Structure 1
Protein backbone atom coordinates (compact mmCIF):
# COMPACT_ATOMS: atom_id res chain seq x y z
CA UNK A 1 0.00 0.00 0.00
CA UNK A 2 1.15 3.53 -0.78
CA UNK A 3 -0.31 6.84 0.36
CA UNK A 4 -0.28 10.34 -1.09
CA UNK A 5 -0.88 13.33 1.16
CA UNK A 6 -1.65 16.87 0.06
CA UNK A 7 -0.68 19.54 2.57
CA UNK A 8 -1.19 23.30 2.51
CA UNK A 9 1.39 24.69 4.93
CA UNK A 10 0.83 28.05 6.58
CA UNK A 11 3.39 30.76 5.88
CA UNK A 12 2.44 32.18 9.28
CA UNK A 13 3.98 29.11 10.92
CA UNK A 14 7.49 29.75 12.21
CA UNK A 15 8.25 26.02 11.95
CA UNK A 16 7.22 25.91 8.30
CA UNK A 17 9.26 29.01 7.42
CA UNK A 18 12.28 27.32 9.04
CA UNK A 19 11.67 24.17 6.96
CA UNK A 20 11.17 26.23 3.82
CA UNK A 21 14.66 27.68 4.26
CA UNK A 22 16.39 24.37 5.07
CA UNK A 23 15.61 21.08 3.31
CA UNK A 24 17.26 19.08 6.08
CA UNK A 25 14.78 20.56 8.56
CA UNK A 26 11.94 19.80 6.15
CA UNK A 27 13.11 16.19 5.91
CA UNK A 28 13.17 15.86 9.70
CA UNK A 29 9.72 17.40 10.09
CA UNK A 30 8.16 15.04 7.56
CA UNK A 31 9.91 12.00 9.06
CA UNK A 32 8.49 12.93 12.48
CA UNK A 33 4.97 11.82 11.47
CA UNK A 34 6.08 8.21 10.88
CA UNK A 35 7.00 5.49 13.40
CA UNK A 36 10.64 5.26 14.39
CA UNK A 37 12.61 2.69 12.39
CA UNK A 38 14.55 0.20 14.53
CA UNK A 39 15.87 -2.08 11.76
CA UNK A 40 19.06 -0.05 11.33
CA UNK A 41 18.26 0.70 7.69
CA UNK A 42 17.39 4.03 6.07
CA UNK A 43 14.35 5.48 7.81
CA UNK A 44 13.33 7.35 4.64
CA UNK A 45 13.47 4.18 2.56
CA UNK A 46 11.69 2.09 5.20
CA UNK A 47 8.83 4.60 5.25
CA UNK A 48 8.92 5.07 1.48
CA UNK A 49 9.03 8.85 1.95
CA UNK A 50 9.13 11.14 -1.06
CA UNK A 51 7.99 14.75 -1.11
CA UNK A 52 7.72 17.75 -3.39
CA UNK A 53 6.92 21.40 -2.75
CA UNK A 54 4.86 23.13 -5.44
CA UNK A 55 4.39 26.88 -5.36
CA UNK A 56 1.02 27.97 -6.76
CA UNK A 57 -0.83 31.27 -7.08
CA UNK A 58 -2.91 30.32 -4.05
CA UNK A 59 0.03 29.30 -1.86
CA UNK A 60 2.35 26.37 -1.24
CA UNK A 61 1.30 22.75 -1.75
CA UNK A 62 3.38 20.00 -0.17
CA UNK A 63 2.90 16.53 -1.68
CA UNK A 64 4.09 13.62 0.45
CA UNK A 65 4.18 10.00 -0.73
CA UNK A 66 4.74 7.20 1.77
CA UNK A 67 4.48 3.46 2.30
CA UNK A 68 2.87 4.00 5.71
CA UNK A 69 -0.11 6.20 6.52
CA UNK A 70 1.25 9.37 8.16
CA UNK A 71 -0.05 10.90 11.37
CA UNK A 72 -0.24 14.57 10.42
CA UNK A 73 -1.55 15.37 13.91
CA UNK A 74 2.09 15.14 15.04
CA UNK A 75 2.97 18.34 13.16
CA UNK A 76 3.12 21.62 15.10
CA UNK A 77 -0.42 22.90 15.66
CA UNK A 78 -0.05 25.93 13.35
CA UNK A 79 1.94 24.18 10.61
CA UNK A 80 -0.97 23.64 8.21
CA UNK A 81 -3.41 26.25 6.89
CA UNK A 82 -6.08 23.54 6.36
CA UNK A 83 -6.27 19.87 7.41
CA UNK A 84 -4.13 17.43 5.42
CA UNK A 85 -5.73 15.22 2.76
CA UNK A 86 -4.42 11.64 2.50
CA UNK A 87 -5.54 8.97 0.06
CA UNK A 88 -4.41 5.54 -1.06
CA UNK A 89 -2.64 5.37 -4.43
CA UNK A 90 -4.42 2.33 -5.88
CA UNK A 91 -5.89 4.34 -8.77
CA UNK A 92 -2.43 5.66 -9.68
CA UNK A 93 -0.91 2.21 -9.94
CA UNK A 94 -3.90 0.77 -11.81
CA UNK A 95 -3.37 3.44 -14.50
CA UNK A 96 0.16 2.16 -15.18
CA UNK A 97 -0.26 -0.27 -18.06
CA UNK A 98 2.01 -0.90 -21.07
CA UNK A 99 1.40 1.60 -23.86
CA UNK A 100 -0.52 4.03 -21.63
CA UNK A 101 0.23 7.74 -22.16
CA UNK A 102 0.22 9.82 -18.97
CA UNK A 103 0.92 13.40 -18.01
CA UNK A 104 3.63 13.65 -15.36
CA UNK A 105 5.45 16.10 -13.13
CA UNK A 106 8.68 15.40 -11.31
CA UNK A 107 11.10 17.67 -9.50
CA UNK A 108 14.46 15.96 -9.89
CA UNK A 109 18.17 16.37 -9.26
CA UNK A 110 19.69 15.55 -12.68
CA UNK A 111 23.36 14.59 -12.35
CA UNK A 112 26.11 12.64 -14.07
CA UNK A 113 29.39 11.07 -12.99
CA UNK A 114 32.61 12.67 -14.26
CA UNK A 115 35.81 10.61 -14.21
CA UNK A 116 39.33 12.03 -14.43
CA UNK A 117 41.78 9.52 -15.97
CA UNK A 118 44.60 11.13 -13.94
CA UNK A 119 42.74 10.64 -10.68
CA UNK A 120 43.62 7.41 -8.79
CA UNK A 121 39.95 7.28 -7.71
CA UNK A 122 38.74 7.59 -11.31
CA UNK A 123 36.82 4.33 -11.05
CA UNK A 124 34.44 6.12 -8.69
CA UNK A 125 34.45 9.54 -10.30
CA UNK A 126 32.59 12.51 -8.92
CA UNK A 127 28.97 13.41 -9.37
CA UNK A 128 28.13 16.79 -10.86
CA UNK A 129 24.83 18.54 -11.45
CA UNK A 130 23.48 19.09 -14.95
CA UNK A 131 22.46 22.68 -15.62
CA UNK A 132 21.73 23.09 -19.33
CA UNK A 133 18.45 22.03 -20.91
CA UNK A 134 19.98 19.59 -23.39
CA UNK A 135 21.77 17.57 -20.72
CA UNK A 136 18.72 17.65 -18.47
CA UNK A 137 16.57 16.30 -21.31
CA UNK A 138 19.14 13.58 -21.88
CA UNK A 139 18.95 12.70 -18.20
CA UNK A 140 15.17 12.17 -18.21
CA UNK A 141 15.45 10.14 -21.42
CA UNK A 142 18.02 7.83 -19.79
CA UNK A 143 15.90 7.51 -16.66
CA UNK A 144 13.03 6.45 -18.88
CA UNK A 145 15.11 3.72 -20.49
CA UNK A 146 16.06 2.46 -17.04
CA UNK A 147 12.60 2.73 -15.48
CA UNK A 148 10.03 1.58 -18.00
CA UNK A 149 8.92 4.70 -19.85
CA UNK A 150 9.75 6.92 -22.82
CA UNK A 151 9.08 10.57 -23.53
CA UNK A 152 7.18 10.80 -26.84
CA UNK A 153 7.92 13.37 -29.53
CA UNK A 154 5.76 16.38 -30.27
CA UNK A 155 4.56 17.24 -33.78
CA UNK A 156 7.78 19.19 -34.40
CA UNK A 157 10.00 16.34 -33.22
CA UNK A 158 10.91 17.74 -29.80
CA UNK A 159 10.58 15.77 -26.57
CA UNK A 160 7.12 16.23 -25.07
CA UNK A 161 8.41 17.64 -21.79
CA UNK A 162 9.22 21.09 -20.43
CA UNK A 163 12.20 21.55 -18.12
CA UNK A 164 12.03 24.43 -15.64
CA UNK A 165 15.16 25.35 -13.65
CA UNK A 166 14.46 25.77 -9.93
CA UNK A 167 16.36 27.69 -7.26
CA UNK A 168 18.93 25.50 -5.45
CA UNK A 169 17.60 23.63 -2.45
CA UNK A 170 19.72 24.56 0.57
CA UNK A 171 20.12 22.90 3.94
CA UNK A 172 22.62 22.12 6.69
CA UNK A 173 23.45 18.72 8.16
CA UNK A 174 25.49 18.17 11.30
CA UNK A 175 28.11 15.43 11.44
CA UNK A 176 31.16 14.51 13.48
CA UNK A 177 33.18 16.74 11.14
CA UNK A 178 30.96 19.75 11.78
CA UNK A 179 28.09 21.48 10.02
CA UNK A 180 27.92 20.65 6.32
CA UNK A 181 26.01 22.65 3.75
CA UNK A 182 23.61 20.80 1.43
CA UNK A 183 23.06 22.24 -2.04
CA UNK A 184 20.74 20.44 -4.45
CA UNK A 185 20.43 21.63 -8.06
CA UNK A 186 16.86 20.86 -9.06
CA UNK A 187 14.72 21.04 -12.19
CA UNK A 188 11.01 20.50 -12.71
CA UNK A 189 9.87 18.21 -15.52
CA UNK A 190 6.32 18.59 -16.87
CA UNK A 191 5.19 16.60 -19.87
CA UNK A 192 3.94 13.30 -21.25
CA UNK A 193 5.35 9.81 -20.99
CA UNK A 194 4.44 6.43 -22.43
CA UNK A 195 4.71 3.35 -20.21
CA UNK A 196 6.88 0.63 -21.79
CA UNK A 197 7.39 -1.68 -18.79
CA UNK A 198 4.62 -1.45 -16.20
CA UNK A 199 6.48 -3.30 -13.42
CA UNK A 200 9.61 -1.17 -13.79
CA UNK A 201 7.63 2.06 -13.89
CA UNK A 202 5.54 1.11 -10.86
CA UNK A 203 8.79 0.61 -8.95
CA UNK A 204 10.02 4.02 -10.17
CA UNK A 205 6.85 5.68 -8.90
CA UNK A 206 7.21 3.90 -5.57
CA UNK A 207 10.88 4.67 -5.05
CA UNK A 208 11.32 7.94 -7.00
CA UNK A 209 13.67 9.10 -9.75
CA UNK A 210 17.26 10.14 -9.29
CA UNK A 211 19.07 11.43 -6.23
CA UNK A 212 18.32 13.82 -3.34
CA UNK A 213 15.07 12.02 -2.52
CA UNK A 214 15.25 13.13 1.11
CA UNK A 215 15.37 16.74 -0.10
CA UNK A 216 12.26 17.12 -2.22
CA UNK A 217 13.34 15.34 -5.42
CA UNK A 218 12.16 12.20 -7.18
CA UNK A 219 8.40 12.10 -6.58
CA UNK A 220 6.47 11.42 -9.81
CA UNK A 221 2.93 12.80 -10.09
CA UNK A 222 0.71 11.27 -12.80
CA UNK A 223 -2.55 12.25 -14.49
CA UNK A 224 -4.50 10.88 -17.45
CA UNK A 225 -3.45 12.30 -20.80
CA UNK A 226 -6.40 13.96 -22.52
CA UNK A 227 -6.67 13.25 -26.25
CA UNK A 228 -6.46 16.31 -28.46
Structure 2
Protein backbone atom coordinates (compact mmCIF):
# COMPACT_ATOMS: atom_id res chain seq x y z
CA UNK A 1 0.00 0.00 0.00
CA UNK A 2 1.39 3.37 -0.98
CA UNK A 3 1.14 6.55 1.01
CA UNK A 4 -1.56 9.01 0.06
CA UNK A 5 -0.37 12.12 -1.77
CA UNK A 6 0.57 14.88 0.62
CA UNK A 7 -2.02 17.28 -0.80
CA UNK A 8 -4.83 14.91 0.25
CA UNK A 9 -3.58 14.33 3.78
CA UNK A 10 -5.48 15.97 6.62
CA UNK A 11 -3.53 18.91 7.97
CA UNK A 12 -3.13 19.34 11.70
CA UNK A 13 -5.22 22.30 12.89
CA UNK A 14 -3.27 25.41 13.79
CA UNK A 15 -2.90 25.92 17.54
CA UNK A 16 -2.76 29.62 18.27
CA UNK A 17 -1.29 31.05 21.44
CA UNK A 18 -3.78 32.60 23.81
CA UNK A 19 -3.82 34.79 26.86
CA UNK A 20 -4.67 33.05 30.12
CA UNK A 21 -7.92 33.74 31.91
CA UNK A 22 -8.82 34.34 35.56
CA UNK A 23 -11.49 31.89 36.69
CA UNK A 24 -13.44 32.94 39.77
CA UNK A 25 -15.56 30.39 41.64
CA UNK A 26 -17.86 31.64 44.39
CA UNK A 27 -20.70 30.08 46.35
CA UNK A 28 -22.19 29.87 49.81
CA UNK A 29 -20.42 27.36 52.03
CA UNK A 30 -21.66 23.85 51.27
CA UNK A 31 -22.72 24.45 47.66
CA UNK A 32 -19.78 22.46 46.27
CA UNK A 33 -17.32 25.14 45.17
CA UNK A 34 -14.21 23.62 46.75
CA UNK A 35 -14.99 20.14 45.40
CA UNK A 36 -15.47 21.54 41.90
CA UNK A 37 -12.22 23.49 42.20
CA UNK A 38 -10.31 20.32 43.12
CA UNK A 39 -11.85 18.46 40.19
CA UNK A 40 -10.81 21.23 37.82
CA UNK A 41 -7.21 21.03 39.04
CA UNK A 42 -7.19 17.26 38.43
CA UNK A 43 -8.82 17.70 35.01
CA UNK A 44 -6.28 20.24 33.74
CA UNK A 45 -2.78 20.18 35.31
CA UNK A 46 -1.99 23.50 33.56
CA UNK A 47 -4.68 25.25 35.57
CA UNK A 48 -2.93 26.86 38.53
CA UNK A 49 -4.55 27.72 41.84
CA UNK A 50 -3.96 31.26 43.03
CA UNK A 51 -1.62 31.12 46.04
CA UNK A 52 -2.81 33.71 48.55
CA UNK A 53 -0.64 36.13 50.48
CA UNK A 54 -1.15 36.53 54.23
CA UNK A 55 0.25 38.29 57.26
CA UNK A 56 -0.36 35.37 59.61
CA UNK A 57 2.58 33.29 60.76
CA UNK A 58 3.36 30.05 58.87
CA UNK A 59 2.00 26.89 60.43
CA UNK A 60 4.13 23.73 60.72
CA UNK A 61 4.77 22.31 57.26
CA UNK A 62 3.71 25.42 55.35
CA UNK A 63 6.20 26.80 52.80
CA UNK A 64 6.49 30.34 51.45
CA UNK A 65 5.21 30.49 47.87
CA UNK A 66 3.66 27.02 48.06
CA UNK A 67 0.87 27.24 50.62
CA UNK A 68 0.92 31.03 51.07
CA UNK A 69 3.08 34.04 50.36
CA UNK A 70 3.95 35.16 53.89
CA UNK A 71 4.45 38.89 54.57
CA UNK A 72 4.60 41.14 57.58
CA UNK A 73 1.92 43.82 57.87
CA UNK A 74 4.12 46.57 56.47
CA UNK A 75 5.11 44.51 53.43
CA UNK A 76 1.52 43.51 52.76
CA UNK A 77 0.28 47.11 52.99
CA UNK A 78 3.06 48.22 50.63
CA UNK A 79 1.94 45.66 48.03
CA UNK A 80 -1.65 46.88 48.30
CA UNK A 81 -0.59 50.52 47.89
CA UNK A 82 1.53 49.62 44.85
CA UNK A 83 -1.37 47.79 43.17
CA UNK A 84 0.26 44.42 43.77
CA UNK A 85 -2.89 42.75 45.11
CA UNK A 86 -5.88 41.84 42.96
CA UNK A 87 -8.04 41.53 46.07
CA UNK A 88 -7.49 41.57 49.79
CA UNK A 89 -9.38 41.49 53.08
CA UNK A 90 -8.74 41.50 56.81
CA UNK A 91 -9.81 38.37 58.70
CA UNK A 92 -9.42 38.17 62.49
CA UNK A 93 -6.58 40.68 62.56
CA UNK A 94 -4.60 39.27 59.64
CA UNK A 95 -4.65 40.26 55.99
CA UNK A 96 -5.20 37.87 53.08
CA UNK A 97 -5.00 38.64 49.37
CA UNK A 98 -4.25 37.49 45.83
CA UNK A 99 -0.88 38.72 44.51
CA UNK A 100 -1.01 40.20 41.02
CA UNK A 101 2.48 39.36 39.67
CA UNK A 102 2.16 35.51 39.58
CA UNK A 103 -1.23 35.81 37.88
CA UNK A 104 0.14 38.14 35.18
CA UNK A 105 3.05 35.76 34.57
CA UNK A 106 0.66 32.82 34.14
CA UNK A 107 -1.56 34.83 31.78
CA UNK A 108 1.41 35.74 29.57
CA UNK A 109 2.23 32.02 29.27
CA UNK A 110 -1.34 31.16 28.29
CA UNK A 111 -2.11 29.47 31.60
CA UNK A 112 -5.29 30.01 33.59
CA UNK A 113 -5.56 30.89 37.27
CA UNK A 114 -8.34 29.63 39.54
CA UNK A 115 -9.64 31.78 42.40
CA UNK A 116 -11.75 30.22 45.16
CA UNK A 117 -13.06 33.47 46.69
CA UNK A 118 -16.24 34.96 48.12
CA UNK A 119 -18.32 37.60 46.31
CA UNK A 120 -16.29 40.45 47.81
CA UNK A 121 -13.00 39.00 46.57
CA UNK A 122 -14.57 38.32 43.19
CA UNK A 123 -15.82 41.89 42.97
CA UNK A 124 -12.34 43.28 43.67
CA UNK A 125 -10.74 41.06 41.02
CA UNK A 126 -13.35 42.04 38.43
CA UNK A 127 -12.68 45.71 39.20
CA UNK A 128 -8.89 45.30 39.00
CA UNK A 129 -6.60 46.05 36.05
CA UNK A 130 -7.01 42.42 34.95
CA UNK A 131 -10.81 42.50 35.10
CA UNK A 132 -11.34 42.05 31.37
CA UNK A 133 -9.76 38.58 31.59
CA UNK A 134 -12.07 37.39 34.37
CA UNK A 135 -14.59 34.59 33.92
CA UNK A 136 -16.79 34.39 37.02
CA UNK A 137 -19.01 31.47 38.01
CA UNK A 138 -21.40 31.36 40.96
CA UNK A 139 -22.48 27.98 42.32
CA UNK A 140 -25.97 27.72 43.80
CA UNK A 141 -27.39 24.86 45.88
CA UNK A 142 -30.56 23.17 44.60
CA UNK A 143 -32.37 24.24 47.78
CA UNK A 144 -31.65 25.78 51.18
CA UNK A 145 -32.65 22.53 52.86
CA UNK A 146 -30.08 20.66 50.77
CA UNK A 147 -27.45 23.28 51.58
CA UNK A 148 -27.99 22.74 55.31
CA UNK A 149 -28.00 18.97 54.85
CA UNK A 150 -24.60 19.13 53.13
CA UNK A 151 -23.13 21.31 55.86
CA UNK A 152 -24.33 18.94 58.57
CA UNK A 153 -23.19 15.94 56.55
CA UNK A 154 -19.59 17.10 56.64
CA UNK A 155 -19.42 16.39 60.36
CA UNK A 156 -16.76 19.10 60.73
CA UNK A 157 -18.62 22.00 62.33
CA UNK A 158 -20.58 22.59 65.51
CA UNK A 159 -24.29 23.47 65.30
CA UNK A 160 -23.36 27.07 66.13
CA UNK A 161 -20.88 27.27 63.23
CA UNK A 162 -23.41 25.71 60.85
CA UNK A 163 -26.04 28.23 61.95
CA UNK A 164 -23.56 31.04 61.24
CA UNK A 165 -22.77 29.67 57.78
CA UNK A 166 -26.46 29.36 56.96
CA UNK A 167 -27.10 32.92 58.08
CA UNK A 168 -24.25 34.17 55.89
CA UNK A 169 -25.39 32.17 52.86
CA UNK A 170 -28.40 34.41 52.25
CA UNK A 171 -26.17 37.46 51.75
CA UNK A 172 -23.78 35.50 49.54
CA UNK A 173 -26.57 34.17 47.33
CA UNK A 174 -27.93 37.72 46.88
CA UNK A 175 -24.87 38.51 44.71
CA UNK A 176 -25.54 35.79 42.10
CA UNK A 177 -26.44 38.30 39.38
CA UNK A 178 -22.94 39.85 39.45
CA UNK A 179 -21.45 36.72 37.87
CA UNK A 180 -20.99 35.76 34.22
CA UNK A 181 -22.36 32.25 34.76
CA UNK A 182 -24.56 30.68 37.43
CA UNK A 183 -24.74 26.91 37.92
CA UNK A 184 -27.20 25.08 40.15
CA UNK A 185 -25.26 22.21 41.69
CA UNK A 186 -28.03 19.64 41.89
CA UNK A 187 -25.72 16.89 40.60
CA UNK A 188 -21.96 17.21 41.09
CA UNK A 189 -20.91 15.27 37.98
CA UNK A 190 -23.32 17.15 35.71
CA UNK A 191 -22.30 20.51 37.20
CA UNK A 192 -18.64 19.68 36.64
CA UNK A 193 -19.31 18.89 32.98
CA UNK A 194 -21.11 22.23 32.54
CA UNK A 195 -18.23 24.03 34.23
CA UNK A 196 -15.69 22.39 31.90
CA UNK A 197 -17.81 23.48 28.93
CA UNK A 198 -17.73 27.09 30.13
CA UNK A 199 -13.95 27.05 30.44
CA UNK A 200 -13.44 25.39 27.05
CA UNK A 201 -15.60 28.01 25.34
CA UNK A 202 -14.05 30.98 27.16
CA UNK A 203 -10.55 29.84 26.20
CA UNK A 204 -11.51 30.16 22.53
CA UNK A 205 -12.88 33.70 22.69
CA UNK A 206 -11.51 35.90 19.92
CA UNK A 207 -10.12 38.52 22.30
CA UNK A 208 -8.10 35.87 24.18
CA UNK A 209 -6.13 34.88 21.07
CA UNK A 210 -3.63 37.71 20.44
CA UNK A 211 -2.10 35.91 17.44
CA UNK A 212 -5.40 35.55 15.62
CA UNK A 213 -5.09 38.78 13.59
CA UNK A 214 -1.67 37.78 12.26
CA UNK A 215 -3.00 34.31 11.42
CA UNK A 216 -5.90 35.75 9.40
CA UNK A 217 -3.56 38.15 7.60
CA UNK A 218 -1.51 35.12 6.61
CA UNK A 219 -4.62 33.47 5.22
CA UNK A 220 -5.36 36.59 3.19
CA UNK A 221 -1.83 36.59 1.79
CA UNK A 222 -2.46 33.02 0.61
CA UNK A 223 -5.54 34.25 -1.26
CA UNK A 224 -3.34 36.82 -2.94
CA UNK A 225 -0.73 34.22 -3.84
CA UNK A 226 1.95 35.64 -1.54
CA UNK A 227 2.10 32.58 0.69
CA UNK A 228 2.22 29.92 -2.04
CA UNK A 229 5.37 28.38 -3.44
- Greater radius of gyration (CA): 2
Normalising by the smaller structure, the TM-score range is under 0.3
- More strand by proportion, 1 or 2? 1
> What's the TM-score once normalised by structure 1's chain length?
0.25
> What's the TM-score once normalised by structure 2's chain length?
0.25
